[in-house]
Amino acid sequence: MPERRSKPQWAAYRERNSTQSHRDVISLNLDYPFGFDATGRTSDTDDADHIRDMIEQLLLTSPGERVNRPDFGAGLMRLIFAPNSDELAAATQFLIQGALQQWLGDLISVESVLVEGKGAELQVTIHYVIRRTQQRQSSQFSPGES
């Protein structure tokens, strides 16, 4: 009968590495859209780009599209064939502001959301601050682009 070790391997590993702080833990931010890098591994990205990717996913997801989160999303894709008007831009601006605060409020502080109808195109510009780094960012989105 084989001899049993006094501690499981994971317990010994945890003891050796228990002095690591929370910030020393390596995190992996998967890039969106999902893909592979030149080495054949899953492509990853930095925190600022990952947050921008999350904002894009929030904007382009329609409410009811996610199974366990039926109220997730801003539904910008539904506006592709909607008639463009100032009223639509104002309503969309409030919808996006609320969705960003609800779903990404722990990661970003939204400074402004600007929704403009330029001809047949609806353009969304979001100015925000990443809470962890206090880095200011600005991102533009259009429902028909990817």
Query: For residue 126, what is the domain's CATH number?
Result: 3.10.450.40
Alpha carbon distance, N-terminus to C-terminus of the chain = 61
- The confidence score (pLDDT) of residue 12 equals 52
- The confidence score (pLDDT) of residue 4 equals 52
Residue carrying structure tokens 């001899």: 3
- Domain count for the chain: 1
**Tens-digit pLDDT profile for residues 48-80:** 988 999 999 999 999 999 899 999 999 888 887
- Asked, for residue 105, whether it belongs to a domain, the answer is yes
- Asked, for residue 90, whether it belongs to a domain, the answer is yes
For the chain, where are the alpha helices, taking DSSP H only? 9-16, 47-60, 86-104
- Asked, for residue 146, whether it belongs to a domain, the answer is no
- The confidence score (pLDDT) of residue 9 equals 52
Burial (CB count <10 Å: 0-12, 13-18, 19+), residue 99: buried
Which residue segment(s) compose the domain that 74 sits in? Answer: 24-141
- The confidence score (pLDDT) of residue 55 equals 94
Do you find a cis peptide bond into 2, omega within 30 degrees of 0?
Answer: no
- Asked, for residue 2, whether it belongs to a domain, the answer is no
Q: Which residues of the chain have pLDDT under 50?
A: 20-23, 25
- Asked, for residue 37, whether it belongs to a domain, the answer is yes
- The confidence score (pLDDT) of residue 135 equals 95
From 64, 138, 124, 132, select the one nearest 95 (Cα to Cα): 124
The region that residue 90 occupies, defined by phi over 0 for left and psi between -120 and 50 for alpha, beta otherwise, is alpha
- The confidence score (pLDDT) of residue 21 equals 47
Tell me the pLDDT of the chain averaged across its residues: 81
Residue 19: CB atoms within 10 Å: 7
